[in-house]
Amino acid sequence: MKCRKCGEKAVIHMRQHKLALCKNHYLDWIPKQTQRFIHDNKMFSPEDRILVAVSGGKDSLVLWDVLSRLGYQVDGLYIGLGIDGGNGYSAESRRFTESFAAEHKLDLITYDIEEHEGLDIPTAASMTRRGRERPCSICGLSKRHIMNRVAIENNYDVLVTGHNLDDEAAVLFGNTLNWLTAYLQRQGPVLPNRSGLVKKAKPFFRFYERETAAYALLRGIEYMYDECPHAVGAKSIYYKELLNRLEADRRGAKLSFYLSFLRAKETMVFNSGGDDVELKLHPCTSCGQPTSTPDLCTYCRTWKEVRDRRETMLEQGIES
């Protein structure tokens, strides 16, 4: 297969676009497309200070690379979760992130959960009823809270994440299976800022997962290849596999599923039954971040429960 632009040997074929490109044209195409997505969706401008959440995986490192190449003022935020899983998952992810930042002379903020909360994510999860089997709930909750807090406290205008189309389509699929209209209303490539909540954007929302991986490979970006050990068997991965089966038979199915959802949302299809879009927010009595729950926000309440439980266990002489 030949590159559509120059006729050289292609290295990637994007069937949904009927587009094959050689290495050089592909490395040129990804940033140009990203710039188009940023502009068309009014995500941010060159004057904005941007914070990118970096996990050490391919999507977030590629996003950091592309945004800095495009000339944006973009710093990284790495959140240390303390997950080992037999492969030193968090330590390795941090190593890839720090080495990328150093190599590209980019500023990185590191936030270690254990340092701030006294416990790492797996230990904390083991002390909650929901988290014993799977720590993803407290992990996701903590990351979302910390990302917002760090962005607000450091005066960033926008928080960006490396979510790709496969991520978005999988979430959409899950929300649609259960008709979670409140979640459907909130899903999109840009979430505007509200009092105390930073604006969020997903500049890679139209790229397939294999496209960000291909960019990392061709650009020589080293990333954490292994998955989080707790993601094994996750519903999101199962949905991605189902959608990829559909894509194999019908090229463009994933893209069309997500883009037609965004169009349907514009026509207010999901807005009639929603109940919590305009929830009244007030500051959490502990951390001051906006919350819709009375008194403490979910983050502070969950971590308080974790610390209380740990104290009780220590009093009873039980090792966590």
| Under rule CB under 8 A, residue 247 binds another protein | yes
Q: What is the DSSP letter of 10?
A: P
| Shorter beta-carbon distance to another protein: residue 228 or 297 | 228
Enumerate residues 107-166 that contact another protein by CB under 8 A. 136, 139-140, 143-144, 147, 161, 163, 166
Per the document, the length of the chain is 320
* Residue of the chain from 67, 230, 297, 303 that contacts another protein (CB under 8 A): 230
Number of residues that bind another protein (CB under 8 A): 46
* Among the listed residues 160, 153, 132, 149, the one whose alpha carbon sits nearest the alpha carbon of residue 55: 160
Q: Which residues contact residue 165 at a Cβ distance below 8 angstroms, ignoring those fewer than 6 apart?
A: 204, 205, 206, 207, 208, 209, 254, 255, 258
* Among the listed residues 73, 77, 75, the one whose alpha carbon sits nearest the alpha carbon of residue 45: 73
* Residue of the chain from 208, 257, 299, 303 that contacts another protein (CB under 8 A): 208
Q: Which residues contact residue 115 at a Cβ distance below 8 angstroms, ignoring those fewer than 6 apart?
A: 80
| Shorter beta-carbon distance to another protein: residue 100 or 310 | 100
| Shorter beta-carbon distance to another protein: residue 148 or 181 | 148
Alpha helices per DSSP H over 178-297: 181-186, 209-219, 235-249, 253-266
| Under rule CB under 8 A, residue 59 binds another protein | yes
| Under rule CB under 8 A, residue 57 binds another protein | yes
For the CB of residue 271, give the shortest distance to another protein in the complex, in Å.
24
* Residue of the chain from 101, 125, 171, 201 that contacts another protein (CB under 8 A): 171
Q: How many whole angstroms separate alpha carbon 186 and alpha carbon 190?
A: 9
Number of other residues whose CB lies within 10 A of the CB of residue 171? 19
Q: Which residues contact residue 257 at a Cβ distance below 8 angstroms, ignoring those fewer than 6 apart?
A: 169, 172, 173, 243
For the CB of residue 171, give the shortest distance to another protein in the complex, in Å.
8
| Under rule CB under 8 A, residue 288 binds another protein | no
| Shorter beta-carbon distance to another protein: residue 232 or 314 | 232
* Residue of the chain from 52, 53, 124, 127 that contacts another protein (CB under 8 A): 53
* Residue of the chain from 27, 218, 281, 287 that contacts another protein (CB under 8 A): 218
Enumerate residues 7-46 that contact another protein by CB under 8 A. 10-13, 20, 23
* Residue of the chain from 19, 106, 197, 234 that contacts another protein (CB under 8 A): 234
Where are the extended beta strands (E) located within 263-303?
A: 282-283, 290-291
| Under rule CB under 8 A, residue 87 binds another protein | no
| Under rule CB under 8 A, residue 58 binds another protein | yes
Q: Which residues contact residue 229 at a Cβ distance below 8 angstroms, ignoring those fewer than 6 apart?
A: 83, 85, 86, 87, 89
Read off the tokens for 52. 């990118």
Read off the tokens for 103. 């190599």
| Under rule CB under 8 A, residue 197 binds another protein | no
Phi, psi torsion values for 215, nearest 5 degrees: -60, -45
| Shorter beta-carbon distance to another protein: residue 50 or 310 | 50
Q: Give the residues lining the site for another protein (CB under 8 A).
A: 1, 10-13, 20, 23, 53, 55, 57-59, 136, 139-140, 143-144, 147, 161, 163, 166-167, 171, 208-210, 212-214, 217-218, 225, 227-228, 230-232, 234, 236-237, 240-241, 244-245, 247-248
